[in-house]
Amino acid sequence: MFRIACEGILAIKALHYNIRSWVLGLVPYLIMSYYCMDVLATLMNYRLVSAEKAVVLDVADVFGYIYTAFDALLTSAAVALILVRGKEETGVMMLLIGSVIHRLLFTVWIHVYHSLLNDCLDVGSLLVLLATRVYLRDRKEWPRLAVKKFEFILLAGRIGLSSIYISWLEEIINPIPSFLSLALLSSMVLGIKCRAASYLTALVILYHDVLSAHFWFLWGWNDALLSLEHLSLLLCKIGGFLLLSQLGAGKCSLDRYLSRTPETKKQMGNYRHTKSSAYVL
């Protein structure tokens, strides 16, 4: 009986390890699918998109065509660097630069607050993706490399993803209870049970975007390409939280501080005891 129980525990651990490997390996493709669909939608409606941007900038149409081509090429190159060449830092930086340029040029300042919330969510997903790649690539060398970089990127990504809860709180038709959004927001920002909160958030996103009245954002369009673009955005949001559920909150969290306090005190006590003994000797 004991042997069967041990084999069952080992099988569960092996399954958990496999799921973790699948999530860390496959979810980045879900996040990049949003940017691939953005490029595809731009190319399919190139003239219309270029004309709209020229009108917003109040410039000649040729400048709208040039900027649209530049934006599509920049995004395509960044996705290729991340998924094909494995150069995540360069690719993510290019996507962030493109996002900043787009926001500066095309922001409707009346709605700048909501635009920044959406940008924070996109940036959070990209930063968590970058933290995942750093974790997978450099963890054997962490005693001397990438520790501070990983923790800073993970903290920034965690805070960026937290913007989704603020968006839920400000919705007029909100299928998510306010107390749940506030609890998840506090858990994510402070780093309390971040893994469980990330899993729960992924489920809440599915309910919010697919099962509630907001489902028409996915399927309520006459343009199938636009529906696919919103679907890829849904996958991008879920992917960011799934990656965070595997990485955890990191060292910059309340959970890590509370869990390390007793150990730190014990180590300091032993250290003082050793020094006192040395002086006595």
Query: Which stretches of 116-242 are assigned E, i.e. beta strand?
Result: none
CB of 63 within 8 A of CB of 54? yes
How far is 177 from 180, CA to CA, in rounded Å?
5
Give the C-alpha distances (Å, rounded to integers) separating 213 from 156, 200, 222, 252.
31, 20, 18, 37
How far is 201 from 207, CA to CA, in rounded Å?
10
CB of 78 within 8 A of CB of 92? yes
Q: What is the band of 221 on the pLDDT scale with cuts at 50, 70, 90? A: confident
Mean pLDDT of 175-199: 89
- Give the tens place of pLDDT for each residue, 226-261: 888 888 888 999 999 998 888 888 888 887 877 765
Could you tell me how many helices (H) and strands (E) the chain has, helices first?
12, 0
pLDDT higher than threshold 80 for residue 7: no
Burial category of 164 from C-beta neighbours within 10 Å (exposed 0-12, middle 13-18, buried 19 and up): buried
pTM, to two decimals = 0.81
Average pLDDT, the chain: 79
Q: Please report the pLDDT score of residue 94 as a whole number.
A: 92
Q: What is the band of 275 on the pLDDT scale with cuts at 50, 70, 90? A: very low
Q: Please report the pLDDT score of residue 109 as a whole number.
A: 66
Q: Please report the pLDDT score of residue 134 as a whole number.
A: 77
Q: Please report the pLDDT score of residue 176 as a whole number.
A: 85
pLDDT higher than threshold 70 for residue 145: no
Mean pLDDT of 173-190: 88
Beta-carbon contacts of 176 under 8 Å, excluding residues fewer than 6 positions away, are 168, 204, 207, 208
CB of 92 within 8 A of CB of 131? no
pLDDT higher than threshold 90 for residue 73: yes
Q: What is the band of 80 on the pLDDT scale with cuts at 50, 70, 90? A: very high
Q: Which residue has the higher pLDDT, 151 or 203?
A: 203
